[in-house]
Amino acid sequence: MSVAPAIPANGSLEERARRALDQKTKPPGSLGVLEEVAVRLAGIQQTLAPVLSVKRLCVFAGSHGITAEGVSAYPGSVTAQMVLNFLAGGAAINVLARHGNIGVHVIDVGVDGEWPAGLENTPHFFIRKVRAGTRNTLREPAMTSAECDQALEAGREQVRQAVADGVQVLGLGEMGIGNTTAAAALYCGLLGFDPVAAVGRGTGVSEAGLRRKVEVVEGILRRHAPGDALGEGAGRYWLESVGGYEMAAMTGCILEARALRLPVVVDGFISTAAAAAAFDLDPASREVCFFSHRSEEAAHGAALKALRVEPLLDLKMRLGEGTGAALAMHVLEAAAKILCEMATFESAGVSDAAEAAGASSPAACL
């Protein structure tokens, strides 16, 4: 491992990191997005030697009352069943987390279901149930203000614990049958999307199911249309009105991560909706967020564009659970190692472009 170069202590950490990268044995900017990621990590961790070796992914789970309207190909009971699968280590996110040496926390913030006796003692499982699922948002708001606060706090708690445990990067994942409908409604409310453009197939609904989802989201928006302009309160209003407890928890994660300077990797369609709410509540929270991938779910690409962010990957995925975040963590860690471990022209004894130009100039031959 090469020692980080001595960089003049003037300018921001980001500026100093750029200068450090320009001294590495490569043409300036030739590692593209990796360099931008490295610069951002240096700024977040306030060091020219950022480290992301301790990684954790939080999977927040919650049920959705909107499933009563036939918006999913799967019954709502699958949410609880998948939580058990996570805890047994059999889900896609478990496989990818093991592959990447990523710890996994599973948090029940609103699952409609009873857990087997003793499950509360399972390591890395947190029961923070606000309620047994949100309400049917076609009929009433998803949650009360107090419930939203409780869900936000469940997310904030995970960030505080991560920092106390020495975690250096946190990924966000979720599980909740019906949550693509909730996320689509949140995008419509916060970003002004049309329901036809915002609604996708989610768990794989048929053409008839897709039409039903669009109708439901249209009805949700009519039901919750605010009478007056919301201004800075839009994120909170739409989260309470149409969101999910797992989405509110991820929003809380992002807000606390910004306060504690912890890099956060946002997963896909659902997690990005939570990020949209966080950005409305605290615009500076975008500083700690890295967007893992572009989901195949309808409107995710448009949402990323509306939020003015670029995803690191595009693997045609649409599973959720934090699978995209788990994969993108490899990219973040690689970027940090480029800044920390790559040799400089000076340390490697390699001529840089300026040196080469100087050697070939007439003045150099005098």
Catalytic positions, written as ranges: 321
Q: What six digits make up the tokens of 43?
A: 């700024």
Helices (H), 206-352: 207-224, 234-242, 245-260, 269-281, 300-306, 323-341, 345-348
Q: What residues pair up with 169 in beta bridges, in sequence order?
A: 55
Separation of alpha carbons 176 and 78, rounded Å: 8
**Cβ-based neighbours of 61, under 8 Å, separated by 6 or more:** 79, 82, 83, 86, 106, 107, 108, 109, 110, 111, 174, 175, 176, 246
277 CB neighbour count, 10 Å cutoff: 28
Angle between helices 33-45 and 13-22 (to 10 degrees): 140
Assign residue 98 a region (left: φ > 0; alpha: ψ between -120 and 50; beta: otherwise).
alpha
Spell out a b/e string for 224-237, using b for 16 or more CB atoms within 10 Å of the CB, else e.
beeeeeeeeebbbb
Tokens of 327: 């994969």
Cα dist from 268 to 12, 173, 230, 323, whole Å: 31, 8, 26, 9
Burial class of 146 by CB neighbour count within 10 A (0 to 12, 13 to 18, 19+)? exposed
Burial of 276 (0-12, 13-18, 19+ CB in 10 A): buried
Contact 205, 73 (CB under 8 A): yes
What number of CA atoms fall less than 13 Å from residue 100's CA on the CB side? Answer: 30
Query: Alpha-carbon distance 125 to 88, whole Å?
Result: 11
Distance CA 272, CA 254 (A): 11
